[in-house]
């Protein structure tokens, strides 16, 4: 899910600092900062590419249908009930992220999208929990770099936001770049 702009702007500043501290670390554009409610996978583990593969396009169309059905089933879900408190910023071996604590409406939307996907032959993989990935690391950091990264992450100020949209999309990964490419976007009230 795409989150509201206040979380994005804070995340963009943190990402810019992180990208400058570690060579090869992509600076995520604010459009790429997201919280996944489900991930799809294709048979050989390759990235989804609807421009070159019609099966991938069909998969994304079915997933968009599932999201539309999930949202139609409860169109009056209040945005306040979907809010997520984001903080603190954390470091893992492969990425920097901000942990999220969602309110019940977020989980209700999560469950509804997963449930609507199953009859369409889509088995969404649940991420390990609501979070914002700030960046993924291209290589290991030395002790001095690690200290600088930890200081940058410590500057994260917790924020509570509501998702602004459910985005059905796919990732583009290249050296020094990570993008979330939208396929279909469902704005939330």
2-181 placed in CATH 3.90.1140.10: yes
Domain positions in the chain: 2-181
**pLDDT above 70 (res 29):** no
Give the whole-angstrom CA distance, residue 94 versus residue 134. 11
pTM, 2 dp: 0.79
Arithmetic mean of pLDDT, 10-36: 65
3-state DSSP call for residue 92?
Answer: coil
Cα–Cα distances in angstroms (integers) from residue 90 to residues 19, 93, 95, in the given order = 15, 10, 9
**Cα distance between residue 178 and residue 80, in whole Å:** 30
- Looking at per-residue pLDDT, the higher value among 120 and 179 belongs to 120
- Per the listing, tokens 């169109």 go with 75
According to DSSP H, which parts of 50-135 are helical? 54-73, 104-117
Helix (H) or strand (E) holding 145: helix 143-154
pLDDT band at 31; cut points 50, 70, 90: low
């Amino acid at each position: 899910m795409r989150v509201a702009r206040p979380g994005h702007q804070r995340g963009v500043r943190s990402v810019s600092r992180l990208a400058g501290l570690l060579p090869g670390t992509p600076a995520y554009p604010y459009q790429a900062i997201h919280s996944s409610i489900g991930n799809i996978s294709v048979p050989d583990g390759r990235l989804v590419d609807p421009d070159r593969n019609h099966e991938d396009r069909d998969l994304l169309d079915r997933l968009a249908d599932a999201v539309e059905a999930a949202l139609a089933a409860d169109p009056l879900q209040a945005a306040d009930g979907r809010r997520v408190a984001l903080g603190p910023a954390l470091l893992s071996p492969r990425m920097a992220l901000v942990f999220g604590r969602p309110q019940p409406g977020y989980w209700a939307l999560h469950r509804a999208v997963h449930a609507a996907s199953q009859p369409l032959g889509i088995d969404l993989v649940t991420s390990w929990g609501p979070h914002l990935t700030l960046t993924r690391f291209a290589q290991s950091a030395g002790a001095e770099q690690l200290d600088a990264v930890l200081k940058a992450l410590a500057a994260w100020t917790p924020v509570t936001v509501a998702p602004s949209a459910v985005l059905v999309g796919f990732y583009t990964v290249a050296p020094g770049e990570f993008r979330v490419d939208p396929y279909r976007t469902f704005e939330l009230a």
